[in-house]
Structure 1
Amino acid sequence: MTLPWAQRADGHCFGCAPANPVGLGLRFHLDGDGLVTEFCLDRRYESYPGVVHGGIVALVCDEAMGNHVVIGHGRPAVTTSLRMRYVGVVAVGGRYRCRATTEEGRSGTVAGRAEVRDAAGELVVTATAVYRPLPADAAGLPLTTTRHPALPSPVA
């Protein structure tokens, strides 16, 4: 799945921009009502020996949830809060899958949930977040209010 700004020459998102040479280069695909990215991180993202830094894992979750807002709700958004729960270790060199969903929240916000599972399907991380949508023109993104057709309509 190509995100709306992926081909922009000035797009250097650390999480998902293909043009950022030091970024993660995350790629996404739809999975039912969720957005998924699969990742394997090397020692450049290490914290304790053999363990991926928790902040990098939080970035992966935030990217998945935030991009789900973009494709699922038809508008860019900024993160207003992010809560992480680490129930296992994300190991350097391990293969992981992050799946995110979002739903309309209170006061015009969007609530997100994400899970990271290892190659055996074991849960290692959960995340929740709140996003404040922006008008597309305020973010400089080529978006409309059109939602991705494969995703269900948000609850009003």
Structure 2
Amino acid sequence: METETIAVPWSVIPDYRCFGCSPHNPGGLRLRFTAHPRGLQARFRLGRGFESYPGVVHGGLTGVICDEVMGNLIVIARRRPAFTVSQRTRFVTPLLVDHEYVCVAELSANDSGALIQASAEISDADGALCAGSSATYQPFDFRDVRHQITLDDDEVALLSRALLDPEPTPNGVTS
């Protein structure tokens, strides 16, 4: 049984170009998200276009993938976008080109005030841990960051409406 893909709020903008999750970015990762009992997950397989050493995925992409799944979990569960303030990633083993992996993100139970804490793990097809990451995020309102992001008034309105609906489930994710 295939799990239903969760649409990110950004998908209301017809040509959004997020490197991590947009299907419109030909050079991007094109991650798709599904609900996970702990939060949100993305299954992925990266080809040679994302290689560093022969046969090895560039290590920086490990952090990008974790950040993407954590960040989208926050948007979906908390109904607010958030900028990454800090991120720490621990590499257990390199990710290999053309191998299946899954990244699972969850929110921390001990958020500190206005900041949101999240963590993510990447595992291989056998369930072995390959990397782990933890990050702190600062939520924002689109109207307050207009000088930092290029959204017109109609796009801000679309995104604001998309963040209002639907109601999250106990783990923060709707499926």
TM-score by length of structure 1 reads 0.90
Computed over aligned residues only, the root mean square deviation of the Cα atoms, in angstroms, reads 1.8
Q: Which residue of 1 aligns with 2:11?
A: 6
Kindly, what percent of the aligned residue pairs are identical? 40
1:96, distance to aligned residue in structure 2 (A): 0.1
Correspondence for 2:113 among 102, 107, 110: 107
TM-score by length of structure 2 reads 0.81
Correspondence for 1:72 among 73, 77, 86: 77
Paired with 2:111 and 2:122, the residues of 1 have a C-alpha distance of 22
Q: Which residue of 2 aligns with 1:38?
A: 43
Deviant stretches of 4+, over 2 Å: 136-149
Structure 1 contact 116–123 (Cα < 8 Å) conserved: yes
1:7, distance to aligned residue in structure 2 (A): 3.6
Gaps of 5+ in 1: none
1:146, distance to aligned residue in structure 2 (A): 5.9
Structure 1 145/131 Cα, relative in aligned 2: closer, same or farther at 3 Å?
Answer: farther
Aligned AA for 2:72?
N
Structure 1 contact 99–116 (Cα < 8 Å) conserved: yes
Structure 1 29/111 Cα, relative in aligned 2: closer, same or farther at 3 Å?
Answer: same
Identify, as 1 or 2, the structure richer in helix: 2
Query: How do 1:115-154 and structure 2 match up within 5 A?
Result: 115-138=121-144, 140=156, 141-142=159-160, 143-144=162-163, 148-152=167-171
Structure 1 8/146 Cα, relative in aligned 2: closer, same or farther at 3 Å?
Answer: closer
Output one character per residue of 1:104-138: Cα deviation in whole Å (capped at 9) or x when no partner. 52131000100000000000000000000001444
Aligned AA for 1:25?
R
Please identify the structure whose Cα radius of gyration is greater: 2
Aligned length: 153
Structure 2 contact 124–130 (Cα < 8 Å) conserved: yes
Q: Which residue of 2 aligns with 1:93?
A: 98
Paired with 2:167 and 2:46, the residues of 1 have a C-alpha distance of 29
Paired with 1:56 and 1:148, the residues of 2 have a C-alpha distance of 31
Q: Which residue of 2 aligns with 1:62?
A: 67
Structure 1 131/44 Cα, relative in aligned 2: closer, same or farther at 3 Å?
Answer: same
Q: Which residue of 1 aligns with 2:151?
A: none
